Structures are given as C-alpha cells and as structure tokens.
Structure 1
Amino acid sequence: MGGVSRRDSLMDNFRVALEECGLKDLGFVGSPFTWSNRRAPPNLIEERLDRCVGNMEWREIFRDVTVTHLPFWRSDHIPILLNIAEIGGRQWEGKRPFHYQRSWVEKEGCLESIQAAWKASNGCNIMTRMVNNLGSCARQLQQWNKDNRRRLNENILLKKKELFCLSGTSGLVVWNRCRVVERELDNLLNDEETLWRQHSRVGWMKKGDPNT
C-alpha cells in the first residue's frame, strides 16, 4: 500500500525457488502487511514481504497450523507467530518462600497493605504480636504483589490487542494513536522487565551467588 509498484520480474526468482522446493504459503491471520516504513500518512508505505511457507511433507506432519501477523512495534517488520502445537503452562508445586523487594515501597498500595496487616494481627504478648504481624504482612504483600502482576499482564495484553486492532488500518489519527500505544507498552514492558530482574536476583541469591 502506497509507494511505487514493484515490477513482477523482480519476484520471479523467488517464485521459481518456492515452486522448485514445493513450498506453499501457509496463509495468515491479522494485518495483510508485514513491512512498513513507519512514516506518517500520506508518506506511509506498507507491504507483505514476509511469510511462512511449507512443503507437502511438512504440511502432512503439521496439519493444524496458524500463522498470525502480530502488531508493528519498534520495528519496520512485524513479528510473525507460527503456532503448531498447544503448550501447557508449567504448574508450580509447593509453597513459595516470601521475599521482600525494596522496589515495592515505591509502588502504590504497598504501604497501605503493610499498615492494614499490622493493625489486623493480635497476640497475648509483644513477641507473639510481632510474629503474627510479620506473618500477616508477608501474606498481604504476597497477595498485593500477585494482584499487581496480574494487572500488569492484563494491561500489556490490552495494549498489544489495541496495536493488533490498529494494524492494517491507515490514516494520520490511527498512526498517531499507534505511537501513543507503543510508548505506553514500552513503559509496561519496562515494569515487567524490572520484575523479572528482581526475580532473577532472588534466584541467584538462593544459590549462594551474590549477583554483583
């Protein structure tokens, strides 16, 4: 879409190679374009340059295949997802130990969770109350952290879905909205990366590595 039309002769060698190897286009779901110059309309150019192909033997083995064009994001080429099997998520067994993370105190709701837990516990003496308070705080913070992670994952998914819905459409308003959503998604993914770095550090510390 847009730009100067490319001569069919430039693609002849590519078509011949596909035919000689018996490779067929696997189709796709999503935006029809896989490449964009990422310029604002009316200078926007989009084309389908990338695709998934397979020969007869491969398609006999993998009959139920889905190719999805994911949204443009920080690149002139889109990511393409080839789904050939369902992979079940790993289920963790046992109770995970509690690890407090310093960055939590900067997040909204952390101090409120601690204060609520500290007030709720009781005991016959000071030491009993202290132990109960610490246990209550740990449970509250674990639940608060779990809720935060869930909201973060939901927000990331929503932004990716919005980019997916916007892909394949044109216009300056849509282009500007895509840039806004990309920035919002960047911030969310930075938060997610921070969580994974902290999780990685905890893992190394458990194995005795100071991770310095």
Structure 2
Amino acid sequence: MAEIKCKLEKSQGMTVPSVCRNGGLALLWKDSLLVKVQTYSPRHIDAIIAKDDRNKKWRFIKFYGHPKTRKREESWRLLVNLSPRSELPWVCMGDFNEISHRGEKEGGGERPEWQIRAFSSAINKSKLRDMGFVGPEFTWSRRLGARGWVRERLDRALVSTNWASLLPQVRLYNVASCSSDHNMLILKALRPKSRNKRRQRLFRFEAMWIKEEECDGVVKEAWERGRILMGRKIASLTKKLQWLECLLGGGANMEEIHATKVELNKLLMAKEEMWKQRLRNCWLKLGDRNTTFFHEKASKRHQRNTITRLLDSNGNWQDEEHIMGHIFVEYFQELFTSSCLTVSEELLEAIHPKVTESSNLC
C-alpha cells in the first residue's frame, strides 16, 4: 500500500483488509486535505473532510454492500445507522451490490422485488438520494457463458440535500475500465473549457515499437501518411469503450466491449514501456498503469460564476445549454404572468387619480 500511495501521490490513508476474497477498502488522501476517520468496518469507512477553508467541512463514507444476498440487510441497517451520526453534508459512495429499480439490470435472472425495495427503503430512511451520473448506464458486467451477459448498476453515489447544495458543481462520472468488471466512479467538479490551443508535439521514435510484429509495415506507412501517436489511439479506444458501454444491446455488443478492452489493455501496457524508456527510473513496474504519476500538472484554473445545470419543473437536472435556456424563459414567464387576477372595487376606489379628464383632452 505504501508503494500505491507514492504512485497515486497520496501520502496519507488507511485500509480495511478484505475478508477472504470479498471486500477490502482503502481511503487515500493528499497532505492538503484534513481528513479525520470517524469509524470503519469491513463494509464502510466514515471520514470528515476539510480543505483550505476549515469551516467548509463535509462527510465522506466509502461503502461496500455485502456480496451475499441473505446478509444484504445488515448493510442496509449499517447505512441507516450511519445517517444520524453527524449533521454535516455527506456523500456515501461505493459498490452497494444492489439495484434500486429494474431498469438498472440487463440480462441474467430477475431480481426479487422485495430485495430492490429493501435497498430503496434504506436510502429513504438515511435521507439520501441518488446524485445521478455521467457515462455508461451500467457499472458492472459479467459473461454468463452460453446465456450471454449480465449488466447492472451496482456502484453509485448517494448524497444528502445539503451536500448537493454545498457542492452543486460536482458530478459523478462512470468511466469504463478495461482491467475490471466494475467501472470506475470519479467524483469531480466541472471545470471551464480551456480556450488555449495546444502546441503541436514533435515526433519521436519509441523503442517499444520494435517489439510489435507490424513495426516494419507501420514505419513504412508512417513515411506516407505521417506520424502515428499512441495517445490518440488510446483516447480513441477509450472513447469507443465509453460509447459501447452506453449502448443498449445484447451479447454482440458485449463481445465488442470485451474485444475493445483487450485491445486497450495491450496499448496501455505498451504505454508503460514508453514512459519507462522516457523517464529512466525504477518507479514503474510491469502491471502498473498509473502513468499519471509521471504527468505532474500544477495548473491553476480561474473559477467562473457560471450556471452548470438547472432543476426543471419535473425535478430532473438539465445541463444542456438550449434546455437551460427554455427553463429560464418558462420560469420568468410564469413569474411575471398574472393568473386569475381579480381587483376589488374597494381597491380601485382607494386609488387617487393623478391624471384628470382635462389632461386627457390635451
């Protein structure tokens, strides 16, 4: 774990060991954060977090629902019991091993209704709500042999109302992963788009390309078509994987997802070799793909007073610009439009006229 901390640039943290092959939790953080762990168990880590402004505190709970259905109720009792322990805004995030409605499952056997209701009831009792997500609809998938694939949304973030008000710019991103059957959950704030144009990078030969059988052909083709950058290939495959995960489909789509993950894995392994060659150090070992450790970026962004999303009349969050425009128009039209207006005679008689009849004749 000490090595992982260094590579993730997180100097502080705590871990809860797994039970047999199930579970195992880790919470890592930077020195710039003030984190106080309140309680922990094989199913949760409860911590209070503060950054620069120590008065702006909030609560983060890493949660892992019991993998066995017959013991799932224990997890829901834990969730409900954690709720009243602090008045701070809080978010509960992790793998709950359960769905909240039938639309969050595709393929496989049908989930019992009582099981779904138990999870939804625990969320309501805890005074939390699903904060939604950006990205693929499902966060977990598995091949069932001849029966095809099963996909479910098991991972999520539940937030209190005051947490959503405290950090309205934060979104949860479901990011497809090629090395796990679960997608990654990334909780981060929206950032303004940069208008600065990037400089065109210089071409440099990479020694790792020699290991590929197609190297000779690629070099010859490169002389004709121009340079081929691995970063663009990885970005393209990552975008393709994210797009495939968002599609609704059967086994054929899942097979394509599996093939894309295999291809992306090969490129990521090659990228390791590239950074190992460039940096000439011993930090990177085979199997470690955290190349962001070698990409130190310390650029400060100017915060802008922007409205990133709006709650429409149906209670749904909207972040499309044209939809937000319609919400603004509808709101102010309703605000400044009179409905069922009645003016009593007594009120009219109490008003003293300022314009006389002679003034109207002029």
State which structure, 1 or 2, has the greater radius of gyration over its C-alpha atoms.
Answer: 2
Residues 90-169 of structure 1: pairs in structure 2 closer than 5 A: 103=207, 106=210, 151-167=229-245, 168-169=247-248
Q: Is this contact kept in 1: 2:129–2:160, CA < 8 A?
A: yes
Q: Distance in 2 between matches of 1:200 and 1:174?
A: 39
Q: Distance in 1 between matches of 2:184 and 2:259?
A: 19
Unaligned runs of 5+ in 1: 90-99, 113-146, 205-212
Say if 2:305 is the partner of 1:201: no
Structure 1 match to 2:257: 178
Structure 1 match to 2:183: 78
What is the TM-score normalised by the length of structure 1? 0.60
Residues 2-21 of structure 1: pairs in structure 2 closer than 5 A: 2-21=107-126
* Pairs aligned (count): 157
User: Sequence identity of aligned pairs in percent?
Assistant: 27
Q: Distance in 1 between matches of 2:262 and 2:205?
A: 26
Deviation for aligned residue 1:12: 4.0
1:180 to 1:4, Cα distance in 2 relative to 1, 3 A:
closer
- Point out which structure has higher relative CO (alpha carbons under 8 A, 6+ apart): 1
1:202 to 1:87, Cα distance in 2 relative to 1, 3 A:
farther
Q: When you count helix as a share of all residues, which structure comes out higher?
A: 1
Deviation for aligned residue 1:24: 1.0
Deviation for aligned residue 1:104: 6.3
Q: Where do 4+ consecutive residues of structure 1 move more than 6 Å?
A: none
1:174 to 1:63, Cα distance in 2 relative to 1, 3 A:
same
Q: When you count strand as a share of all residues, which structure comes out higher?
A: 2
Structure 2 match to 1:128: none
Q: Distance in 1 between matches of 2:167 and 2:207?
A: 46
> CA offsets per residue over residues 25-64 of structure 1, 9 Å max, x none?
1112232212212346742111211111111221111102
SS at match of 1:181: helix
Q: Is this contact kept in 2: 1:38–1:76, CA < 8 A?
A: no
Letter in 2 for 1:189: L
1:37 to 1:165, Cα distance in 2 relative to 1, 3 A:
same
